[in-house]
Amino acid sequence: MEIIPAIDLLEGNCVRLIQGDYDQVTKFNSDPIKQALLWEELGATRLHLVDLDAAKSGESLNNGVIQQIAQKTKIPIQLGGGVRTEKRVKELLNYGIDRVIIGTAAIENENMVKELAKKFPRKIVIGIDAKKGKVATRGWVEESLVDAKDLAKTFANSGIAAIISTDISTDGTLKGPNLNSLRDIASASEVPIIASGGIGSLSDIISLKSLEALGVKGVIVGRALYDNKFSLQEAIKVTSNFDLEDPPIQTSNRNC
């Protein structure tokens, strides 16, 4: 299972929100490029970027930062937030982004997204952000009537690279992942699932290992790493089936 550190971009800063609430922002680093390079140095095999400005308004204030992160890091990057047109997909791929995450458009323009999946094989990821089983859109500020499981089924055979399943009610809370929701999403589609939301301890990551056989192949970790609940090395060690009784790797404050 792949551990994917998250970098959420807001006005050029590395931040985290609580349950997607733009009024509950914590800034962790004013230099997201330095943060990306640190995660790479500490062993990350992929980065997860979210353009929060674009997710909310549709307009990005972070293009320069995104381009520099893509140019200066050597590991694959997946990016989401406000991606609602083919033009934006092409723009991000040209920046060097490996996989583009589409959320709102997956509901509002299903046919376009399926065409993008054909045009850019293994480059499109569907972001399913849900609360109480229903999908939220436009930076989580709008709720839909679409069931998360149904949306997963819709794109099951479309050629997308993965589905990122985010439980809004747990995101940024460190209270643990919604295993029932993840199980439902994974059962609805054979597409690889990346879990997101609520990770607060190594035990939470271990709990996800029980879903790996169902197709949960990765987990995005944000606040827990920034709050030093555990280190990236420890998380990677857990998912690599090392002896959990080994002395823990010391957590560094370099990621603050």
Per-residue 3-state assignment (H helix, E strand, C coil) for 37-62: HHHHHCCCCCEEEEEHHHHHHCCCCC
Three-state secondary-structure class, residue 113: helix
What is the rounded distance in angstroms from the CA atom of residue 183 to the CA atom of residue 190?
A: 12
Q: Is 150 a catalytic residue?
A: no
**Catalytic: which of 8, 51, 53, 184?**
8
Q: Is 129 a catalytic residue?
A: yes
Q: Of the candidates 45, 52, 43, 41, which has an alpha carbon nearest to the alpha carbon of residue 7?
A: 52
Tokens encoding 193: 């699932």
Count other C-beta atoms under 10 Å from residue 245's C-beta.
6
Torsion angles phi and psi, residue 19, rounded to 5: 55, 35
The span from the first CA to the last CA of the chain, in angstroms, equals: 25
Give bridge partners of residue 97 from the DSSP assignment: none
What is the rounded distance in angstroms from the CA atom of residue 170 to the CA atom of residue 9?
A: 20
User: What does the buried/exposed string (b/e) look like for 83-109 if buried means 16 or more CB atoms within 10 Å of the residue's CB?
Assistant: bbebebbebbbebebbbbbbbbbbbeb
Please tell me the chain's helix, strand, coil percentages from 3-state DSSP, rounded to the nearest 5. Answer: 35, 30, 35
**Catalytic: which of 51, 53, 129, 184?**
129
- Active-site residues, by number, are 8, 129
